[in-house]
Amino acid sequence: MGKIGELYQSADWKTEKHVPVIESPDVVKAGEMFAVTVTIGKEVAHPNTTEHHIQWIRVYYKAEGGKFPYAVANADFQAHGASTDGANAGPVYTDHTVTVRMKVSKPGTIFASSSCNIHGLWENARDVKLA
């Protein structure tokens, strides 16, 4: 029996269009809000069609020395050009980017995961230090 963690893929986000790219400050002040933006396909564009798209992005935070990560945000992308007129004929598309504002009291790691409807689960991580 496998484990779900074995299904997550990662790679260099500058050459792979599926890896979540996490943008946030390297150093933040404890208790002060800061923005975290997660994008799929920052350097290499990911398709956003009815047939091939990003379904969701999830963001987690694990404090240094903590046992468990905390769920921060979950973004579901529902509009990919589908229509009763056919694939890619719809009037609305979503963009697979999400920005959340958060604050932390301890240094730690931001984790982001995503799901491509064709290529499965992807992950990335970024450390955050306190000033």
Active-site residue list: 16-18, 46, 52, 116, 119
Q: Cα 106 from chain centroid?
A: 22
Closest of 9, 82, 97, 93 to residue 45, by C-alpha? 97
CB atoms within 10 A of CB 121: 16
Q: What is the 3-state secondary structure (H, E, C) of 31-92?
A: CCCEEEEEEECCCCCCCCCCCCCEEEEEEEEEECCCCCCEEEEEEECCCECCCCCCCCCCCC
CB atoms within 10 A of CB 55: 14
